[in-house]
Amino acid sequence: MRALQIIIGLGAAAAALVFAEAASARGGDHHDPAPQNDNPPTIATSLPESLAQPAAARDALAARGFEFGLKYIGETFSDVSGGLRRGTIYDGKLRVSLDADLDKAFGFTGLVFHANASQLHGRGIDQFYTGALMPVSNIEATPTTRLFEAWFEQSVAEGASIRLGQMGADQEFMTRASAKIFVNNSFGWPALAIADLPAGGAAFPLSNLGARAKWETERFAILAAVFDGDPAGPQGAFESPDPQRRNADGVRFRLKDAPFVIGEGQWKYAVDDLPGVAKIGGWRHFGVFADERFGADGLSLADPASAGVPLRRRGNFGVYALVDQQIFRSDEGGAGAFARAEAAPNDRNLVNFYADAGVSFRGAPARPDDLFGVAVGYARVSNGARGLDRDTAAFGNQFAPIRSGEALVEATYIASLVPGWTLQPDLQYIRRPGGNIADPRDPNGVRSLRSAFVVGLRTLIRY
């Protein structure tokens, strides 16, 4: 097992370092609002010939089966009111990746390879300013240079494929095309999974070794995957409590943790010739989880008589459903709407229910490539965590806040400056950050965090 781990891990890492980002349908990027099955424009077409020459070399390699490119996302956000405190941050992500058609390149029928790595820099607004359960930015991460994905995919029959390697579950599961324009991370990988799974699950910026099988027809698709269940592994005696620091470069390649399994069924349909997709799925983690309220001695963890050791719960699971529907289409653009809900047990999870919905538009007068969207999200704090808060109030500060849930509204606009370069102003209102947690600046511990208003500006450049 250890030998297999080293072979898979080192081979994938080496390939990721040799090649740079593909604009291919095989390896998606849910931080890029461009449709995954399109070949999005790059800024190379707007540059002087001397700067565009590498793009010409890329086209030559594409003819041989290797598609690569480069992408940068930079953003600044300001918490202008509420949250932990007011302030401004800048963070960014430089992403390189490769999609290789190994059939075209070497004659391996039906075999493709994908890898991507990112250089992450700056500081995140949630940790220092908002304190939100639903992360303001989907690129916020601990500064580092890390491998994210490196996998092989083999077609085994018409519409069927198997994928092996280091993968992010967020790239294929629970996704909606209409939600890709939004910046808040929960409109991609939902807040429930972020809060409840070890290290937030196999989702950006962390991924894990796994295997995925997929069968797809014109109208239906079934996906199932198994991953190592902890992308960073348990915290050692002298290790950081931050899982992103424990697996800082993305090459830990763990295979010895309890597995995480996820499956999804998809139904593609049309309403008045407008396409839509409905998805239903679920996941199970086979590890051990701490009870949110009770200790191993049967007492509340807030009880001074408790030993303070949480009751251990075996396994965890969640179920979800979503719909993504185009609602309007014209020569100048169109619009899509989405909705999603996910639920998990109350006793071993911080968040037991999550839901979101939104609408996005493509095309504006004289600006056919611009995008606009509005979305809302809600993360409910579980009964177990609420019960612990009530116990804490009963045994100590009777006026301490009781957590309930966090709500979010995001409005965003993506302006296309030139092909391959966009500018995106973004507004987010976060009601009850952290689900109504106490304000750490209040010495009496009775005041909740005020609702936060965040303004931001993001730029995306594809080369």
Please give the single-letter amino acid code of residue 303.
D
Three-class secondary structure of residue 391 per DSSP: helix
Say how far residue 150 (Cα) sits from the centre of its chain: 17
pLDDT confidence of residue 332: 81
Separation of alpha carbons 133 and 123, rounded Å: 17
pLDDT confidence of residue 161: 98
Question: How far apart, in Å, are the Cα atoms of 327 and each of 126, 333, 335, 418?
Answer: 33, 11, 6, 27
- Of 41-45, 273-277, 351-355, 449-453, the least confident: 41-45
pLDDT confidence of residue 208: 95
| C-alpha closest to that of 279 among 426, 134, 179, 148 | 179
Place of tokens 């250089």: 119
Q: Residue 236: which residues within 8 A CB-CB, separation 6 or more?
A: 246
The CATH number corresponding to 2-462 among 3.60.20.30, 3.60.10.10, 2.40.160.180, 3.30.460.10 equals 2.40.160.180
Separation of alpha carbons 426 and 412, rounded Å: 4
Size of the chain in residues: 463
Q: Which DSSP category does 433 fall into? A: G
Separation of alpha carbons 87 and 130, rounded Å: 9
* 379: its two tokens: 């993360």
Separation of alpha carbons 17 and 117, rounded Å: 8
| pLDDT, greater one: 89 or 45 | 89
pLDDT confidence of residue 225: 98
Q: Exposed, middle or buried, 5 (CB in 10 Å: 0-12/13-18/19+)?
A: middle
Instruction: List, for residues 162-180, the tens digit of each pLDDT value.
Output: 999 999 999 999 999 999 9
DSSP 109-146: TTEEEEEEEEEEEE--HIIIII--SS-S-TT---SEEE
pLDDT tier, 31 (very low <50, low <70, confident <90, very high otherwise): confident
Give domain limits for the chain.
Answer: 2-462
Instruction: List, for residues 199-210, the tens digit of each pLDDT value.
Output: 999 999 999 999
pLDDT confidence of residue 102: 96
pLDDT confidence of residue 7: 36
Instruction: Reply yes or no on whether the pLDDT at 228 is more than 90.
Output: yes
- Of 38-42, 220-224, 381-385, 412-416, the least confident: 38-42
pLDDT confidence of residue 171: 96
Q: Which DSSP category does 344 fall into? A: -
CB 405 within 8 A of CB 394: no
Average pLDDT for the chain? 90
What residue spans of 129-271 are helical by DSSP H?
A: 191-196, 243-246
Instruction: List, for residues 176-226, the tens digit of each pLDDT value.
Output: 999 999 999 999 999 999 999 999 999 999 999 999 999 999 999 999 999
Separation of alpha carbons 7 and 209, rounded Å: 12
Q: Exposed, middle or buried, 389 (CB in 10 Å: 0-12/13-18/19+)?
A: buried
Separation of alpha carbons 368 and 331, rounded Å: 9
* 423: its two tokens: 């500018």
Instruction: Reply yes or no on whether the pLDDT at 378 is more than 80.
Output: yes
Q: What is the mean pLDDT of residues 241-258?
A: 94
pLDDT confidence of residue 55: 63
Q: Which helix (H) or strand (E) holds 299?
A: none
The sign one gets for the Cα dihedral 107, 110, 111, 113 is: positive
| pLDDT, greater one: 405 or 58 | 405
The sign one gets for the Cα dihedral 75, 80, 81, 85 is: positive
Q: Considering the chain, what percentage of its residues have pLDDT values greater than 90?
A: 79
Strand partners, 381: 351
DSSP 59-71: HHHHTTTEEEEEE
pLDDT tier, 9 (very low <50, low <70, confident <90, very high otherwise): very low
Q: Which helix (H) or strand (E) holds 8?
A: helix 2-18
pLDDT confidence of residue 394: 94
Instruction: List, for residues 297-318, the tens digit of each pLDDT value.
Output: 999 999 999 999 999 999 999 9
* 37: its two tokens: 């099955």
Question: How far apart, in Å, are the Cα atoms of 1 and each of 230, 254, 263?
Answer: 17, 10, 25
Instruction: Reply yes or no on whether the pLDDT at 253 is more than 80.
Output: yes
Q: Which helix (H) or strand (E) holds 294?
A: strand 274-295
Separation of alpha carbons 246 and 260, rounded Å: 19
Three-class secondary structure of residue 256 per DSSP: coil
